[in-house]
Amino acid sequence: SKEKTESGQSQKAQKTYQWKMVTSWPKNFPGIGVAPERFAKNVEAMSNGRLKIKIFGAGELVAGLEVFDAVSSGSAEMGHSAAYYWKGKIPAAQFFTGIPFGMNAQETNGWLHYGGGMKLWEELYEPFNLIPMAAGNTGVQLAGWFKKEINSVDDLKGLKMRIPGLGGEVLKELGGIPVALAGGDLFASLQSGAIDATEWVGPYNDLAFGFYQAADYYYYSGWHEPSAVLELIVNKKAFESLPKDLQMIVKVAARASNQDMLDEYTARNNDALKQLVEQHNVKLKKFDDELIRTLKKTMQAVIEKEVAKDPQMKKVWDSYSDFQKKAVEYHRISEMEYYLNRDK
């Protein structure tokens, strides 16, 4: 009978799972859209084909912004997206993508995995039957594409810009007009002048989108998105139905994805920026110091106002800002000092 149980167990362990993953990006979109494909390939290889994941790009099964609901209901077992898209459902979710003047990728990963961030994230998603995992990071983004020069705060007045999240709120405070636009309309709107500026990701993705054809000025750095975490969300019931080894494979593959995307952006942004400046004559510009100070001051006011509205947000913000304070202090004498020394 012992033999029987063993064969029963091994039968269960040999069961193959066919899962669906919905994403918020077009399939194979450079960087963010490639990550889900690589993740699925890794999982299939590591599990020896026992967990097969079929990827559906934005719009194939559901629109990009329906990923959360589709996985929450269990219609798809997994999703790849970004937490700040769900701020209409969970205001605190935006901290788990990134916030203006917040932490960079390295620091955010530290907070998530060793600073209590993950636990808070899991708590937020628990009522929705979702398990979140960090599964990608774009690194520091650039400030975006502008049709005219931005020399002072006055130039932001009346500026129509596609910029999501808290960054948009800051722009609004300073007299600009944050505009809501789908990715597909972005280019045409910038070209037609329906908007004056847009942010996207960084040189690698921005080159791909062809923004240089529509705007002359490319500003740095991405004050509004010092890093952006991409998330893997897994339906809780589906996850718990997996044998322990497959669960671990999913977790480790997500962790690998998280690092892999950052590595890819680190490698590709350099060449893309060179191409933009040298081949497409993009005017690369730095935001004025005074302007940056104003943006930062406004950001602090905005976040205090937002956090006061929502206790969950306050809780996450306290943890986030505590960690940031400590990380910044140490990084001032390590990372930053080294960057400066290296350039001497």
Partner 1 sequence: MEWLALIMFLFVCLILLLGYPVAFSLAGASLIFAGLGIAIGAFDDSFIHLLPNRIYGVMINPTLMAVPLFVFMGVVLEKSQVAERLLDAMAQAFSGVKAGLGISITLVGMLLAASTGIVGATVVTMGLLSLPAMLKHGYSAQYSSGIIAATGTLGQIIPPSIALVLLGDVISSAYQQAQLKQGIFNPEPVSVGELFAGAVIPGLILVLLYMLYSFGLATFKPASIPEMDKTQSRFPLKSLLSALLPPLVLIVLVLGSILAGFATPTEAAGVGATGALLIAALHRKLSLKTLQEICVSTLHVTAMVFMILIGASLFSLVFRGFGGEELIHQFFANLPGGVITATLIVMLIMFLLGFILDFIEITFVVVPLVAPVLLAMGLDPVWLGIMIAVNLQTSFLTPPFGFALFYLRGVAPDSLPTRAIYQGVIPFIFLQLVLMAMMAYWPILTTWLPDTIYKS
Partner 2 sequence: MKLLVVLERHLQALIRVLGQSIAWLTFIMVILTCLIVLLRYGFNLGWIWLQELVLYMHAAVFMLGVSYAFQKDQHVRVDIFYRSFSAKTKHLVNLFGHIFLLFPVSILILWFSWDYVAMSWHIKESSPETGGLPFVYLLKSLVPMMSLLLMIQGVASFSGCILALYRIKHETNDKEDKAWNG
Question: Shortest Cβ distance from residue 143 to Na ion (Å)?
Answer: 10
Question: Shortest Cβ distance from residue 178 to partner 2 (Å)?
Answer: 6
E-strand stretches of 209-265: 217-220, 229-235
Are 81 and 24 spatial neighbours (Cβ–Cβ below 8 Å)?
Answer: yes
Cα–Cα distance, 249 to 242 (Å, whole number)? 10
Query: CA end-to-end span of the chain, whole Å?
Result: 74
If the CB atoms of residues 89 and 293 are measured against partner 2, the closer one turns out to be 89
If the CB atoms of residues 8 and 74 are measured against partner 1, the closer one turns out to be 74
Interface with partner 2 (CB under 8 A): 65, 69, 72-73, 85-91, 128, 157-158, 160, 164-166, 168-169, 172, 177-180, 194
If the CB atoms of residues 115 and 176 are measured against Na ion, the closer one turns out to be 176
Question: Shortest Cβ distance from residue 186 to partner 2 (Å)?
Answer: 14
Question: Shortest Cβ distance from residue 115 to partner 1 (Å)?
Answer: 34
Any contact of residue 189 with partner 1 (CB under 8 A)? yes
| Angle between the N-to-C axes of helices 289-309 and 165-173, in degrees from 0 to 180, rounded to the nearest 10 | 110
Query: What is the rounded (10 degree) CA torsion for 51, 55, 61, 67?
Result: 90
Question: Shortest Cβ distance from residue 325 to partner 1 (Å)?
Answer: 39
CA 338 vs. chain centroid, Å, equals 27
Any contact of residue 175 with partner 1 (CB under 8 A)? no
Binding mask 190-219 for partner 1 (x = CB under 8 A): -xxxx------------xxxx--x------
Q: Which residue has the tokens 């494909």?
A: 37
Residue 304 to residues 15, 35, 96, 116, 314: CA-CA distances in angstroms?
A: 51, 34, 17, 22, 9
If the CB atoms of residues 224 and 268 are measured against partner 1, the closer one turns out to be 268
Stretch that binds partner 1, among 41-49, 57-65, 105-113, 290-298 (CB under 8 A): 57-65
Neighbour-count burial for 102-132, b at 16+ CB within 10 Å, e otherwise:
bbbbebbbbbbeebebbebbeebbeebbbbb
Picked from Na ion, partner 2, partner 1, none, the partner binding residue 225 (CB below 5 to 8 A depending on kind) is: Na ion
How many beta carbons lie within 10 A of that of residue 197, not counting itself?
25
Any contact of residue 75 with partner 1 (CB under 8 A)? yes
Question: Shortest Cβ distance from residue 52 to Na ion (Å)?
Answer: 32
Those residues with Cβ within 8 angstroms of residue 188's Cβ, 6 or more apart along the chain or in another chain: 194
Any contact of residue 116 with partner 1 (CB under 8 A)? no
Picked from partner 1, Na ion, partner 2, none, the partner binding residue 142 (CB below 5 to 8 A depending on kind) is: none
Cα–Cα distance, 139 to 142 (Å, whole number)? 10
160 φ, ψ to 5°? Answer: -90, 110
Picked from partner 1, partner 2, Na ion, none, the partner binding residue 311 (CB below 5 to 8 A depending on kind) is: none
- Judged by CB under 5 A, the residue of 107, 155, 196, 225 near Na ion is 225
Binding mask 117-146 for Na ion (x = CB under 5 A): ------------------------x-----
Question: Shortest Cβ distance from residue 30 to partner 1 (Å)?
Answer: 5
Cα–Cα distance, 211 to 197 (Å, whole number)? 10
E-strand stretches of the chain: 17-23, 51-56, 78-81, 130-137, 144-146, 160-162, 177-178, 197-198, 217-220, 229-235, 283-286
Question: Shortest Cβ distance from residue 88 to partner 2 (Å)?
Answer: 4
Tokens found for residue 300 = 């602090």
Q: Which residues bind Na ion (CB under 5 A)?
A: 141, 199, 225
Residues interacting with partner 1, by CB under 8 A? 20, 26-30, 33, 57, 59-63, 65-66, 69-70, 73-76, 181-182, 184-189, 191-194, 207-210, 213
